[in-house]
Structure 1
Amino acid sequence: MSKPFDMELFLAGVLTGSQATRKRHIHQAKTMQIDIAERWQRETPWAWQRKHLVWFLEHGLSERSKATRYYYVLTLRLLARRLEKTWTFKL
């Protein structure tokens, strides 16, 4: 039996800011992880491609406000930085 993926540990190297900001990024990253795992069967960010994150922005957040989408894009940028990818995302 394997351990569940620890998103907090994964993002620890790129998280900055206040404790509230860190908690928000971790919560949002876990939300993305759950949705992507359900749709694409990709459990960890190491297995994600840019298309998975774009899908999440377009479908997972389609009912959300622009402000919410903005904060998720900030979290996506942190994930891309941690994965050492040059991905960009539109609001």
Structure 2
Amino acid sequence: MPAAELQSQLNEVREQLDQNPPLSEQERADLHELMVQIEERIKLEAAVGDNDINTGINLAVERFEASHPSLAMSLRNIMQTLGSIGI
């Protein structure tokens, strides 16, 4: 089930954040807000054409790609999963 896979990927991001990578408070807050938005979408199971969440994830990937590649990869996986479930 794609929603379960997406939740698993969110948990992976949380685990990475629990390892306290060198992120600013603003970066942590931005990621937290993004994860809340993703979880809200999972709960609603909305498969609408709204690209706001995808844009946010894509910007986060670009932001963390060089400094935190494993975090960026996890976010890319989330974006791919969202795409596969029509979000």
Superposition TM-score, scaled by structure 1 size: 0.41
Greater fraction of residues in helix: 2
Q: Normalising by structure 2, what TM-score? A: 0.42
Higher relative contact order (CA 8 A, sep 6+): 2
